[in-house]
Structure 1
């Protein structure tokens, strides 16, 4: 019956991202997929901005010449959602002995929640890959702990290889690597701490190396981003309640409609009640290793809710502002709500255990609990109702409780279905983009007009979207990194892009553009945004291409090229190769190495 949770997870994943199955590309807020992308310095994390999209951009650049880039992104997102749900089911089966019905409840908790909905609407498809890896990372860390105790080489090899692969999968983005690293280090135990830490560093090698070599590590982040990205209170819940319900993203526009009504309160209340029914069963009972793992996940969940809530208070924001202004790399902490993902594994375990608790309570064929723990020592004397043998449970009662739990989880958030009520839909780029890409050559980087990083194209819907030019064109595209959030503007790390944008908006000369290393200027005509006095500058340039949507201009004369270290690029490419080896090799070895304790 193990195929049932896998199939159920696939059904839920397809139900969520259904509209994306058709042709087209994901273009929604921060999500930008393109037919092809290129292995530019920016894709490797060596541009002026912080390497926030490393190694995901490099992965797409390597694969998209062979497989359409839009198809790759949709496949990764679909597999990630499936893995999140199935991973929660496997974790519940292994750590609390959940029945099939209870495993389906764990799958529902992992997939059908506000966190998934909000991050989909925000366009954080690669962050969801890190989210999906969390139950598998927890399972791998638990197996490392138990394999080391049993001293079986197959168990040990499979566990360490699985941990390497899962950490690499989570490391598709820096935030995913941090989420997985915290989970793995919390569960593996002190004796395995250094080994797991070494794997985490290796899995994070692309963005760690790019950060060190690009010089971004020495630049602090804008403290304004702390208040801008602080967790947000939802109707009737407050900040703490919103976070406890796995919601509260900073962007009030990137939430399902149901979370703006009383359904947010109802859905959060039902989720927390379901989690609470199994909390005691998760915390007590079972053998020492599984009990340690479950308690560690519960503690992580509590911290994942409490710390972001504290970070949204005035004094919490003050502490974080000091950190990002004085500690390089602390900018990763500014969007505190995304770390609520750490609560998902524990929530899934508690919901699955709660299903077992209620099924046992209402089953008419349950045996005396005193007999369930006889003859197994002190640990099993305190065996939880969820992790005790399930043979005496009435299947009908167990299925009924699981069905009720699943309905209570899904109904308050029905608008998560079908691309969050159609908000996620594939788009089709005008043919001009391909023609522009074919004409981008020669020395220098590409500057873009209008100013700013976000666009509203006629084909992209109502929500602002990140400019696709950096992923669409074979040369580095200058971007300021400035983010308009809640009426504030959060500054980026680099200065050259900002200087070039100012130069264009003030009608600077072609010679000044060339001095800044700009070889081409792209004008995106079908989107609003500041143009300033750029006509004065464009009149001095040579037009290469023009249609209703786009125009490309070449800067005449000699272009001053900025220094590009081939050694740095070699190091970063090597770091990406190490990440790829961990991802593919780790998962492959874990799959083909049978564990002694695995049921055949």
Structure 2
């Protein structure tokens, strides 16, 4: 087989290699447990997993998907597979986007893939534990491609002289397939609410004005799990703590103002979730390399090509500019005041408080411009009689991008590594069989276990146990505490710390108390309460108590709400399979039209 036939697969193989180079240490036995990332051997389809708990549904449908899959496959393997697939898809999608938007050769495609995978945004979100957000990030270039095809097909359908019946039938089939592919992209991105918002913005921008109603309807369907959970639970209808705006504002890096940090795809609010190279003036050099490469190709990306793709490229650059400028403005004094005003008056506006998340929207535009920049430099060298071709130019740019962020390699400086849970977690989960929610000690949502490393981690109990675990949602950020939505959890925590009696817990539907012994945190007078409870299990790591007389206090509408939430998740799952089904159908149709057999040779 000729090498030319393999060439389209080179960007895919290269992107997979980058993904494995980043997450390599995590692929050993064990589980991801780093700040907000919690993977467990098995999780359960609790009310919280469906988004029906006290807290806003921020991990929907992620938690429900893991609950279903971990019943048959180890949950740690599922998370690792999704994470590798996300990074792989991000790079490959950026390469395909460069090929479709610019007709770029292999070298510039690899530059685009490197920009998409090897950047501070990916490093910081991995360190923060936002593995599922990276699925929404990875879906962006594919969403652009699907929306662009829909826009092009709608323009062709509207053009005069297209009344030939067979051609119209084929075009209609292709249009249906294009919409199905877009549905799949939006569903993949919709693994988290933020990912859904990212992909929705891109789809609505690229698909064209006449397709906005259908695109919006499709986005709502792909976002059904968390939209439904918000409506049923009412958690998202409450105002958010305005302290979260300043706490989660984008942050300036050394040598860079906030705007420069965001333009370099960095600037996360948590200074501890940053690669070491971004804590020095090296961040300035890395940002300069990226922005120079993007700036060199921007003019070519705006001007070259046919009108349809040129319009899309301009739209991507406009989205990129907004994704950088708006979070930078949101970090200013008056920007913080506006944000505080919005979250206290508009339900659900708290979803926008971590503004640096939305810098992800710059990735497709940056990737296309970087590919154009590589091609521009190579063409300029050839026009001046130079001997440096596109492959060498691409190699130089790829090396510059990787070497200016060296600590992304091999687990972001080793921080991304598997952990092993004590066996006591499985014993505790097996013993929780009676009704009642679970309250946890010490107070607070974050833990520092001996086996989890130096960084604080989210308590794994809500994903380990088969009953709902009450969590306040309070987040310690930059020396302050941002309040959460968990009213019942705050009450339970107060009762435990004040040494309340067992009947007080039972009256509030609390059936279990779990004590995590190897992590620091406030215990208050909880010994007084624990002395009134029935010990069920105890070892060096965990102790489980049963609250006497506890019953299930869920309202009569609870079962109906669960069924509705599950139906929304099923709709999302169906859309998730729409893209591969459409691609397979299109491929079979193409082979049939070309006279090839539809079965494998």
| TM bracket, shorter-chain basis | over 0.9
> Retained in 2: the 8 A contact 1:220–1:493?
no
Structure 1 window deviating more from structure 2 (49-58 vs 590-599): it is: 590-599
Separation in 2, partners of 1:560, 1:4: 56
2:397 is paired with a residue whose SS is: helix
Question: Partner of 1:586 in structure 2?
Answer: 579
Structure 1 window deviating more from structure 2 (569-578 vs 212-221): it is: 212-221
Structure 1 window deviating more from structure 2 (355-364 vs 196-205): it is: 355-364
Separation in 2, partners of 1:98, 1:158: 25
Pick aligned residue for 1:477 from 469, 472, 475: 469
C-alpha deviation, 1:218, in angstroms: 2.2
Question: Partner of 1:507 in structure 2?
Answer: 499
C-alpha deviation, 1:597, in angstroms: 9.7
Separation in 1, partners of 2:153, 2:21: 37
C-alpha deviation, 1:516, in angstroms: 1.1
Question: Partner of 1:370 in structure 2?
Answer: none
Once the two structures are superposed, the pairs formed by residues 203-352 of structure 1 within 5 Å of their partners are: 203-352=222-371
2:577 is paired with a residue whose SS is: helix
C-alpha deviation, 1:586, in angstroms: 2.9
Separation in 1, partners of 2:584, 2:109: 21
Separation in 1, partners of 2:114, 2:584: 25
Separation in 2, partners of 1:362, 1:594: 40
Question: Partner of 2:191 in structure 1?
Answer: 172
C-alpha deviation, 1:217, in angstroms: 3.0
Question: Partner of 1:374 in structure 2?
Answer: none
Separation in 2, partners of 1:556, 1:597: 66
**2:542 maps to 1:550:** yes
Separation in 1, partners of 2:588, 2:344: 48
Question: Partner of 1:48 in structure 2?
Answer: 54
Structure 1 window deviating more from structure 2 (214-223 vs 150-159): it is: 150-159
Separation in 1, partners of 2:208, 2:317: 15
**Unaligned regions of 5+ residues in structure 2, if any?**
1-6, 158-170, 595-601
**2:565 maps to 1:565:** no
> Retained in 2: the 8 A contact 1:516–1:560?
no
C-alpha deviation, 1:164, in angstroms: 0.3
C-alpha deviation, 1:348, in angstroms: 0.2
Separation in 2, partners of 1:521, 1:440: 10
Separation in 2, partners of 1:442, 1:49: 23
C-alpha deviation, 1:596, in angstroms: 9.1
CA separation of 1:438/1:504 partners in 2, compared to 1, >3 Å: closer, same or farther?
same
**2:130 maps to 1:124:** yes
> Retained in 1: the 8 A contact 2:342–2:349?
yes
C-alpha deviation, 1:565, in angstroms: 1.4
2:52 is paired with a residue whose SS is: coil
C-alpha deviation, 1:407, in angstroms: 0.9
Question: Partner of 1:454 in structure 2?
Answer: 446
Question: Partner of 1:390 in structure 2?
Answer: none
Q: Normalising by the residue count of structure 2, what TM-score does the alignment of the two structures yield? A: 0.93
How many residues in Structure 1 have an aligned counterpart in Structure 2? 573
C-alpha deviation, 1:572, in angstroms: 0.6
C-alpha deviation, 1:150, in angstroms: 3.2
Structure 1 window deviating more from structure 2 (561-570 vs 15-24): it is: 561-570
2:440 is paired with a residue whose SS is: strand
Question: Partner of 1:190 in structure 2?
Answer: 209
Question: Partner of 2:12 in structure 1?
Answer: 6
Separation in 1, partners of 2:579, 2:267: 35
**2:180 maps to 1:161:** yes
C-alpha deviation, 1:593, in angstroms: 1.2
> Retained in 1: the 8 A contact 2:534–2:548?
yes
C-alpha deviation, 1:587, in angstroms: 2.8
C-alpha deviation, 1:286, in angstroms: 1.5
2:304 is paired with a residue whose SS is: coil
> Retained in 1: the 8 A contact 2:470–2:486?
no
Question: Partner of 2:489 in structure 1?
Answer: 497
Question: Partner of 1:19 in structure 2?
Answer: 25
C-alpha deviation, 1:327, in angstroms: 0.3
Separation in 2, partners of 1:476, 1:57: 13
Separation in 1, partners of 2:107, 2:237: 51
C-alpha deviation, 1:364, in angstroms: 5.1
Structure 1 window deviating more from structure 2 (267-276 vs 216-225): it is: 216-225
1:191 is paired with a residue whose SS is: helix
Question: Partner of 1:576 in structure 2?
Answer: 569
Deviations for 1:98-149, whole angstroms, at most 9, x for unmatched residues? 1100000000000000000000000000000000000000111001111223
Question: Partner of 1:382 in structure 2?
Answer: none
> Retained in 2: the 8 A contact 1:170–1:177?
yes
2:12 is paired with a residue whose SS is: helix
Separation in 1, partners of 2:384, 2:403: 31
> Retained in 2: the 8 A contact 1:166–1:587?
no
Question: Partner of 1:427 in structure 2?
Answer: 419
Structure 1 window deviating more from structure 2 (588-597 vs 134-143): it is: 588-597
CA separation of 1:281/1:364 partners in 2, compared to 1, >3 Å: closer, same or farther?
closer
> Retained in 2: the 8 A contact 1:158–1:595?
no
**Unaligned regions of 5+ residues in structure 1, if any?**
367-392
2:17 is paired with a residue whose SS is: helix
Once the two structures are superposed, the pairs formed by residues 72-87 of structure 1 within 5 Å of their partners are: 72-87=78-93
2:132 is paired with a residue whose SS is: helix
C-alpha deviation, 1:321, in angstroms: 0.5
Separation in 1, partners of 2:538, 2:589: 65
Separation in 2, partners of 1:528, 1:543: 22
Separation in 2, partners of 1:532, 1:101: 61
Separation in 1, partners of 2:315, 2:239: 32
C-alpha deviation, 1:494, in angstroms: 2.4
Separation in 2, partners of 1:320, 1:430: 42
Deviations for 1:224-254, whole angstroms, at most 9, x for unmatched residues? 0000000000001010000000000000000
Deviations for 1:499-539, whole angstroms, at most 9, x for unmatched residues? 10011001010000001110000000000000000000000
C-alpha deviation, 1:589, in angstroms: 1.4
